[in-house]
Amino acid sequence: MATEGDIQNNDRVSVGRVLSPWGVYGEVKVYSLTDFPERFSINSKLLIGESAVVVESIRQQKNVLVVKFFGFDNRNHAERIKGELIEIYETDVFPLAEGEYYQFELMGLTVLSSDGDLLGTITEIISTGSNDVFVVHKDDSEILVPDLQHVVEKVDLENNTMIIQLLPGLV
């Protein structure tokens, strides 16, 4: 599963978050939320709040990106966007191979067992490192479903459903 944002807001997908200013020349530290680092290449057009921004420069600094946007020329400019999400329009996401999905596409799917039993709705996706885990809520109960090929049988975005093979002890 590709992570190009796990937050959807008004047909937008988050690709990063501004952590803090970096230095005095308008640069900011950015935590990337995407598997596609080219999102932050020079001259990339992104959205912060209601404003379009364009990447002027970028470099890796340990586990974050240091990004400078055109028009952000001092620390005060950078302070204004501290904590903000960096987004793209949903229509601008990169196409994925068949059978691959973005996290935002899976949020809210109705989860059914292979027997047709309603298990709930995906409300959260946890990245564990080895595989993602879907948090499925129904009423006051919650189950954790690993995103593994032998568990997830089918994802049907048109019908807003995911069918899973129940593992012993899962429910």
| Residue 84 burial (CB count, 10 A) | 16
Instruction: Map out the domains of the chain with their CATH numbers.
Output: 12-92 (2.40.30.60), 107-164 (2.30.30.240)
pLDDT of residue 8: 46
Beta pairing, strands 51-61 & 64-69: antiparallel
pLDDT tens track for 98-156:
889 998 899 999 999 999 999 999 999 998 888 999 999 999 999 999 999 999 999 99
pLDDT of residue 168: 79
pLDDT tens track for 11-65:
899 999 999 999 999 999 999 999 898 999 999 999 999 999 999 999 999 999 9
Residue 7 has pLDDT above 80, yes or no: no
Return the sign of the alpha-carbon dihedral for residues 139, 108, 12, 147. positive
